[in-house]
């Protein structure tokens, strides 16, 4: 079985519920770790700009750091609401998905559930994700985000 390299971000909502999403990336070496840490930090910053929740914790294989246990002040920050991010492997074209909890709904195109991909914060997230993320099937295959939309629990 090939090595698996992945990271997670845990998001805290207004009700102090936590939701985590996971993504894959390539192998980290002594030479690549400075760039990896820069890219991981860029993804954290970009994520923080597209959600209303609190980034509570981040982790990657070999490291786990609690960032905050303070709930967000935005009452709309709920883990039941998410951005569904669809992406594909650049070589295999295999499709993958992950969910980002507590999305900032101001990033949605009016009258739809589609995320405005031209929004500066969304574009920064896409760039940060595509820079660090790799296919869950291969830690050398880069990925491209195809789409983002709002999803959530139905009452």
List, for residues 30-89, the tens digit of each pLDDT value. Answer: 899 999 999 999 999 999 999 999 999 999 986 667 899 999 999 999 999 999 999 999
CA–CA gap between residue 121 and residue 51 (Å, rounded): 10
Percentage of the chain lying above the pLDDT 90 cut = 86
- What tens digit of pLDDT does each residue of 132-155 get? 999 999 989 999 999 999 998 754
Distance CA 50, CA 122 (A): 6
Decide if 67 contacts 12 (C-beta within 8 A): no
Q: What is the pLDDT of residue 29?
A: 86
- CA distance linking residue 152 with residue 13, whole number of Å: 14
Question: CB of 116 within 8 A of CB of 122?
Answer: yes
Stretch 116-128: mean pLDDT: 98
Looking at the DSSP bridge assignments, the partners of residue 6 are: 24
């Amino acid at each position: 079985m090939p090595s698996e390299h992945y990271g997670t971000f845990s998001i805290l909502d207004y009700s102090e519920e936590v939701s985590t999403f996971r993504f894959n990336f390539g192998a980290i070496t002594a030479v690549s770790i400075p760039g990896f840490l820069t890219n991981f930090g860029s993804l954290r910053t970009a994520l923080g700009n597209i959600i209303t929740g609190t980034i509570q914790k981040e982790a990657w294989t070999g490291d786990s750091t609690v960032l905050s246990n303070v709930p967000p002040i935005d009452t709309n920050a709920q883990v039941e609401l998410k951005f569904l991010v669809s992406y594909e492997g650049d070589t295999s074209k295999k499709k993958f998905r992950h969910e980002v909890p507590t999305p900032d709904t101001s990033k949605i195109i009016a009258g739809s559930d589609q995320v405005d991909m031209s929004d500066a914060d969304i574009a920064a997230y896409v760039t940060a994700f595509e820079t660090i993320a790799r296919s869950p099937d291969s830690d050398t295959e880069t990925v491209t985000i195809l789409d983002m939309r709002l999803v959530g629990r139905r009452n």
